């Protein structure tokens, strides 16, 4: 057991958080959710598409509301009025008086940061309908600015062994600020579980991906999106058994992640050249070739 690694007191949430959060929208069922709760999981990311777990989630909220951290949000967040209405629908759907973290998703694509949307989020928090407000975002530079100065309580950011840029672009701006950092895409959509070309060492497991994220002190929970109980159980058991990365593990995993990232960039570059898209290659790939 590594309780100081697996659990964290998060002042922004006024809760003790089990640091492996469960994304419920990738295939787990109600019985799997109940199993996870019995193991100590208490950070739950839910959307209305996670129909298999909704009944069990509602029952859990009725049974032990104050021990759970519910994170959810609207499918799109372009206008303040629609954000408020979506919040009301989600509260009704789950039969709860409040949402712990109400977030708008993929800022800049499926949601916007405007005076209208920001005012809506803040007003929901002030009314007590939500306890914290957040965003999920891929634009690291923008996330860093929001981390430094915004009314947000939470940022959900891409962070994994192949994409470590948050260490330069986001985490330094958290100093002295009580914001929740949720890491997602820990396995890089399972890309980190495949041996990169030219790599002769060990191959990362899903648990290694989560251990990498949780070994960074800035990450509060990291989300896991298992398809079934077996995947969830394997991840939980490995975290409890192995704990944080050793220095040796951290070194090879970073090398592995860089090779995975570089291999994918080279693959896209070759495809673009073969397709006659050299102009796109020169302007877009060069600008995006950051970790």
Domain boundaries, the chain: 3-246
**CA Rg value for the chain:** 19
The answer to whether residue 280 scores a pLDDT higher than 80 is no
Q: What is the pLDDT of residue 21?
A: 98
58 contacts 95 by C-beta, under 8 angstroms: yes
- The Cα–Cα gap between 179 and 142 comes to 15
Q: What is the pLDDT of residue 265?
A: 65
Q: What is the pLDDT of residue 289?
A: 38
Task: At 275, give phi and psi (nearest 5°).
Answer: -90, 0
For the chain, what percent of residues have pLDDT higher than 70? Answer: 91
Tokens of 150: 């915004």
146 contacts 157 by C-beta, under 8 angstroms: no
Task: At 17, give phi and psi (nearest 5°).
Answer: -110, 130
Looking from the CA of 275 toward its CB, the CA atoms found within 13 Å total 10
Confidence at 84, pLDDT banded by 50, 70, 90: very high
pTM of structure:
0.91
Tokens of 121: 């989020």
- pLDDT tens readout for residues 184-211: 999 999 999 999 999 999 999 999 999 9
CATH code, 3-246: 3.20.20.100
- The Cα–Cα gap between 207 and 195 comes to 16
Mean predicted confidence (pLDDT) in 61-77:
97
The answer to whether residue 158 scores a pLDDT higher than 50 is yes
230 burial (CB, 10 Å; 0-12 / 13-18 / 19+) is: exposed
The answer to whether residue 283 scores a pLDDT higher than 50 is no
Residues linked to residue 222 through DSSP beta bridges, in sequence order: 20, 183
Closest CA to 211 of 195, 197, 224: 224
- The Cα–Cα gap between 280 and 18 comes to 43
- The Cα–Cα gap between 104 and 59 comes to 25
Tokens of 31: 């019985």
- The Cα–Cα gap between 156 and 170 comes to 11
SS3 of residue 269 by DSSP = helix
């Amino acid at each position: 057991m590594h309780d100081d690694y697996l659990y964290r007191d998060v002042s922004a949430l006024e809760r003790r958080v089990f640091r492996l959060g469960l994304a419920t929208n990738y295939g787990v069922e109600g019985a799997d959710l109940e199993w996870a709760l019995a193991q100590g999981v208490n950070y739950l990311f839910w959307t209305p598409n996670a129909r298999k777990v909704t009944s069990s989630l509602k029952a859990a909220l009725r049974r032990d509301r104050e021990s759970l951290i519910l994170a959810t949000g609207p499918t799109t967040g372009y206008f303040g009025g629609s954000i408020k209405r979506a919040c009301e629908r989600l509260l009704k759907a789950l039969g709860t008086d409040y949402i712990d973290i109400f977030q708008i998703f993929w800022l800049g694509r499926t949601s916007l940061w405007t005076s209208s949307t920001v005012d809506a989020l803040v007003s929901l928090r002030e009314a007590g309908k939500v306890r914290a407000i957040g965003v999920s975002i891929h634009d690291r530079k923008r996330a860093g600015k929001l981390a430094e100065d915004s009314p947000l309580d939470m940022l959900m950011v891409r962070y994994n062994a192949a994409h470590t840029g948050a260490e330069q672009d986001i985490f330094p701006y958290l100093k002295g600020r009580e914001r929740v950092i949720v890491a997602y895409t820990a396995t890089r959509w399972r890309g980190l579980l495949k041996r990169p070309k030219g790599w002769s060492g060990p191959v990362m497991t899903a648990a290694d991906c989560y251990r990498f994220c949780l070994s960074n002190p800035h990450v509060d929970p990291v989300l896991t999106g298992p398809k079934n109980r077996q995947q969830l159980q394997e991840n939980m058991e490995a975290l409890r058994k192995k704990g944080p990365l050793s220095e040796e593990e951290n070194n090879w995993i970073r090398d592995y992640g860089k090779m995975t990232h570089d291999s994918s960039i080279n693959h896209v570059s070759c495809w673009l050249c073969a397709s006659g898209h050299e102009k796109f290659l020169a302007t877009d790939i060069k600008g995006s070739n950051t970790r």
